[in-house]
């Protein structure tokens, strides 16, 4: 029998996916990626990651592969960095007698309609909402709340399919589009239900929770409506103590109300005059490079904490650094083309040279077309900055992202200067 394995069920395509594998290796555990298409994750080949090709949408086929691995080698943990596969990873861990979140709680949480019902029933603040399965019902619900309203799928992540609709025609059109979808962007069957929600206008935050401990509060910036693309984060959020306490307490209450409390949860909220209200709870680590910001600003490695928890080890959550970190994402205001390789190298070098910038990255290749972002997939790159003061970190990240804008021609870019 060889060493211990950490099974990774699929991955997110950007951000922390590759870090899960690296942190496992640092713990002396071999990461194994089980996925339908290894080519979806270029880092797997680049890092020499062991992969197993399997239909991850077929739970029986996936269990057969996991069982075969477990008979030959010691499986020490099961995890995923992709929201879509958190329930099946939890179920596999339970079948193997390994640590993980409650599979039923996670499955219910991933259905945003059921999540809304449970939170409302527990007295946790949420926007007004209606669950509908046909266009007429969506329009009636919207008119009942008062326009504009948010219309979105009951499952998904990264702002996919989330839209602010200003009148009944827009509600009907977007509801019709969402209800016509039979599968999501991962090819998994999509529920034939959608949510119509009251539009909250307060500033947006997230609270990164681990177990039932609020680790840090994050100020979030959203790009131009009617979509809700996150274009920047600042942490720890600069807030009066009572406002931060309201966010943290509401986030932890939400986690408990949903039966979670193992590992990471990413809780998104809006701070209204009436108090904090939960937009949604995600039973996973945050995306948008937030775990990297937490590591740089607080000295807490949430990816490592998640890996250690899956391996049955005690995570380390004590803050060891006191700094401020900001990220700004580059998005296109209009259609454009990514510049030649030489230009890309120059703009990245200039962005990284900005005082305070610790990372600047472009996601696209020369000649690739880009257009206005409808969701997280429309981001072109990012700049991360760290400083002793929140304003300094934010300014450096803004400057870095603005320099990255030179990577795209024949377009106007919103290098996070258009912030909510």
Active site residue ranges? 284
Look up residue 140 and give its two tokens: 């009636």
User: CA-CA distance, 46 to 18, in Å (whole number)?
Assistant: 10
Cβ–Cβ < 8 Å for 113, 193: yes
User: What single-letter DSSP state applies at residue 51?
Assistant: E
User: CA-CA distance, 258 to 331, in Å (whole number)?
Assistant: 34
Residues pairing with 60 in the sheet: none
β strands within 181-314, DSSP E: 194-198, 204-210, 213-222, 230-235, 264-272, 275-282
- Element (DSSP H or E) covering residue 76: strand 74-79
State the virtual CA torsion across 353, 362, 223, 14 in degrees, nearest 10: -120
User: CA-CA distance, 284 to 263, in Å (whole number)?
Assistant: 8
User: CA-CA distance, 226 to 375, in Å (whole number)?
Assistant: 11
Look up residue 187 and give its two tokens: 């090819």
| Residue 331, CA distances (Å) to 228, 231, 232, 233 in order | 13, 8, 11, 14
User: What single-letter DSSP state applies at residue 200?
Assistant: P
| Residue 216, CA distances (Å) to 115, 171, 316, 350, 363 in order | 23, 35, 14, 31, 27
Helix (H, G, I), strand (E, B) or coil at 1: coil
Sequence length of the chain is 420
- Element (DSSP H or E) covering residue 178: helix 168-180
User: What single-letter DSSP state applies at residue 335?
Assistant: -
- Angle 169-173-175 from CA coordinates, rounded to 5°: 115
């Amino acid at each position: 029998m060889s060493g211990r394995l950490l099974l990774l069920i699929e991955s997110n395509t950007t951000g922390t996916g590759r870090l899960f594998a690296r942190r496992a290796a640092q713990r002396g555990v071999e990461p194994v990626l089980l996925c339908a298409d290894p080519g979806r994750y270029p880092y797997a080949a680049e890092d020499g990651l062991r992969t197993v090709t399997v239909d991850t949408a077929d739970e029986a086929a996936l269990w057969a592969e996991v069982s075969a691995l477990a008979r030959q080698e010691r499986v020490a943990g099961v995890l995923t960095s992709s929201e879509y596969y958190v329930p099946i990873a939890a179920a596999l861990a339970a079948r193997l007698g390994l640590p993980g979140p409650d599979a039923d709680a996670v499955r219910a949480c991933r259905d945003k309609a059921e999540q809304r019902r449970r939170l409302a029933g527990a007295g946790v603040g949420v926007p007004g909402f209606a669950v509908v399965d046909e266009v007429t019902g969506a329009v009636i619900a919207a008119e009942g709340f008062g326009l504009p309203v948010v219309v979105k799928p009951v499952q998904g992540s990264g702002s996919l399919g989330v839209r602010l609709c200003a009148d009944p025609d827009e509600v009907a059109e977007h509801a019709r589009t969402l209800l016509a979808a039979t599968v999501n962007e991962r090819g998994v069957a999509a529920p034939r239900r959608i949510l119509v929600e009251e539009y909250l206008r307060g500033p947006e935050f997230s609270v990164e929770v681990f177990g039932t401990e609020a680790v840090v509060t994050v100020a979030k910036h959203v790009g131009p409506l009617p979509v809700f693309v996150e274009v920047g984060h600042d942490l720890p959020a600069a807030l009066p103590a009572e406002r931060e306490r309201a966010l943290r307490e509401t986030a932890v209450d939400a986690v408990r109300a949903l039966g979670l409390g193992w590992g990471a949860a990413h809780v998104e909220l809006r701070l209204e005059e009436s108090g904090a209200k939960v937009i949604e709870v995600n039973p996973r680590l945050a995306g948008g490079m937030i775990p990297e910001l937490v590591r740089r600003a607080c000295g807490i490695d949430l990816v490592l904490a998640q890996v250690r928890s899956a391996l049955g080890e005690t995570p380390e959550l004590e803050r060891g650094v006191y700094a401020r970190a900001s990220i700004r994402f580059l998005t296109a205001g209009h259609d454009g083309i990514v510049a030649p390789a030489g230009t890309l190298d120059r703009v990245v070098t200039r962005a990284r040279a900005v005082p305070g910038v610790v990372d600047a990255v472009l996601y696209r290749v020369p000649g690739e077309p880009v257009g206005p972002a409808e969701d997280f997939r429309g981001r072109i790159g990012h700049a991360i900055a760290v400083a002793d003061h929140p304003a300094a970190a934010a300014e450096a990240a803004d400057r870095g992202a603005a320099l990255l804008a030179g990577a795209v021609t024949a377009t106007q870019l919103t290098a996070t200067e258009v912030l909510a």
